[in-house]
Amino acid sequence: MIRVFDMIACRCFSAIYQLYQISTGILKRPVTVMAVALMISAGATALTPQASASINLVEVRAEGLGPTQRDAILDGLKIAIGQINGIDISAQTISRLSTQVTDTDQYTEFASSSEFIEDIATATSGQVDSFEIISSRLRPDFDNYVEVILKVKVAKYTASKQLNRLRMSVIEPYLDNSIASDPEAIRFTRSLRRKLEDYLTQTRRFAMLDRQMLADTQNELNLIASGGMATAELARLGQRVGSDYLVILTVYQHGRVINDRQLLGTTTIKREVRDIAEVSVRIVDVATSQIKYAKSRMFQVNPAEAALDDHVSFHLGQFISNAINPARVVAINGSSLTIGQGGDTMQVASEYHLVLLGERLADPYTKESIGRKETTIGTVRIIDVQSKQSTAEIIALDMNISADAALLLRPIYADPFAEAADAAQKMDDAKAKIEDQKSNFFEE
């Protein structure tokens, strides 16, 4: 076994190799190379590195053909890499092999020389962990080309299964010119971005890609590429992936509003403090620039009760996940439901509409799918939250549901018109009460 990383073994057997070298005749060269390969294999087996959880060593057989044994070996390595990591990667690799791998000896010694092995390690970016020459022969029917059969261990990087999800990145938010220099607005947008990333990650519906710490991850990749690590670690290089969608935030307003008002019939001043922010979110398809989702909203919160960035990030995350992948019911046990979503994305005591999914529907004009028919059949309340799931209890139900029913949760949003009407009614009631008190006072 000729190990790409095993320089010491190659040097130890170089003297033995010379004893078997035949200075003339290409026909004898394959026999010599194979003999040394088998001897080195016996001494290097114990040095096999353990593959990490994300890097696997895959053994393949490949046939190479070339005018010299060097060229035949390189051709075989190219084919082996192509079988595992794809033709495109193989083509890039063979171009580096052709330019970087030098023939240090016109006869057989090059196949086990340290320079040859180092060149292969560099040119393949660690993809070739080791190789063994199974056989080698001349092909008179191909202009006396050399044909080799190799057993090659190729390092294959196995990406996380989470990358099969929809890949998204939250980019640096935009600030309206009117608040672009406001330090509080800048702090708010940075925190908002980070917390929205946290929310979307914890939904476990998306593969969230980092775009803030690229310098740090690049430094780690540079460290791997600089040497000193196991050869197979080089397979981590060139594995970054692109985003399917970009999440783009724009903050138009941000600040604190203070209202002082005198209570009717008294000298008491009541102060109301609100932190406000007007934020829009857009989800844009990277490949086409198509806007897939857009929403704008004015947020306000009492700073004594909640932080504005927490409030806004939670609701924006809820808008996005509810539009793309809403929380689903994964198990039913009487009046208790298990929801396939947890972490900070769900809050104890919050209430949701319970929705039954029906047949699939299509837009009558575009003929595009608009999802499945949704029927609100009840209301549930979250009673427990874990990292990956949560538990809800049914507090209202309009119909019986089967254990295999397709159910999801939709957030219950406050109706601003209903809130305004309720506030107006309370004001009218307060005025009427004051008038009654005045009338009673004068009558007495």
Of 265, 6, 250, nearest to 116 by C-alpha is 6
pLDDT value of position 443: 61
Query: pLDDT per residue over 404-426, tens digit each?
Result: 899 999 999 876 555 555 656 66
| Residue 256 belongs to domain with CATH number | 3.40.50
pLDDT value of position 19: 35
pLDDT value of position 269: 82
**Residue 315 host element (H or E):** helix 308-324
Q: Is 434 exposed, middle or buried (0-12, 13-18, 19+ CB in 10 A)?
A: middle
348 and 383 housed in the same domain:
yes
119 and 253 housed in the same domain:
no
- Domain termination site, one of 301, 325, 349: 325
104 and 127 housed in the same domain:
yes
Torsion of CA 240, 241, 242, 243, to 10 degrees: -120
| Residue 370 belongs to domain with CATH number | 2.40.10.410
335 and 311 housed in the same domain:
no
309 and 347 housed in the same domain:
no
**Residue 213 to residue 172: CA distance in whole angstroms:** 12
Of 43, 9, 7, 17, nearest to 116 by C-alpha is 7
DSSP class of 210? P
Helix axes 29-44, 69-85, angle to 10 degrees: 50
- Domain termination site, one of 157, 180, 196: 157
0.85 cut: is pTM over it?
no
Query: pLDDT per residue over 337-355, tens digit each?
Result: 999 999 999 999 999 999 9
How many CA atoms lie less than 13 Å away from 87 in the CB half-sphere?
Answer: 0
238 and 367 housed in the same domain:
no
Q: Provide the residue type at 275 as one letter.
A: D
pLDDT value of position 21: 39
193 and 246 housed in the same domain:
yes
Q: Which residues pair with 278 in a beta bridge?
A: 253, 298
pLDDT value of position 268: 80
Structure tokens, 251:
């903050």
pLDDT value of position 116: 58
pLDDT value of position 444: 58
Q: Which residues pair with 394 in a beta bridge?
A: 380
**Considering its fold, how many domains does the chain have in total?**
4
201 and 295 housed in the same domain:
yes
Q: What is the pLDDT along the chain (444 residues), one digit of tens a residue?
A: 444 444 433 433 333 333 333 333 333 333 333 333 323 233 333 333 333 336 788 899 999 999 988 888 888 888 888 887 665 444 445 555 544 444 444 444 445 444 555 556 556 655 777 788 899 999 999 899 999 999 888 888 777 888 889 999 999 999 999 999 999 999 999 999 999 999 999 999 999 999 888 889 889 888 877 767 776 777 777 778 899 999 999 999 999 999 888 777 677 888 889 999 999 999 999 999 999 999 999 999 999 999 999 999 999 999 999 999 999 999 999 999 999 999 999 999 999 999 999 999 999 999 999 999 999 999 999 999 999 999 999 999 999 998 889 999 999 987 655 555 565 666 677 667 767 766 665 565
262 and 167 housed in the same domain:
yes
For 196, residues 6+ apart whose C-beta sits below 8 A from its C-beta are 170, 247, 249, 313, 316, 317
pLDDT value of position 340: 95
97 and 117 housed in the same domain:
yes
Q: Is 441 exposed, middle or buried (0-12, 13-18, 19+ CB in 10 A)?
A: exposed
289 and 244 housed in the same domain:
yes
How many other CB atoms are there within 10 angstroms of residue 419's CB atom? 10
- Domain termination site, one of 267, 296, 325: 325
Range of the domain at 395: 326-413
98 and 243 housed in the same domain:
no
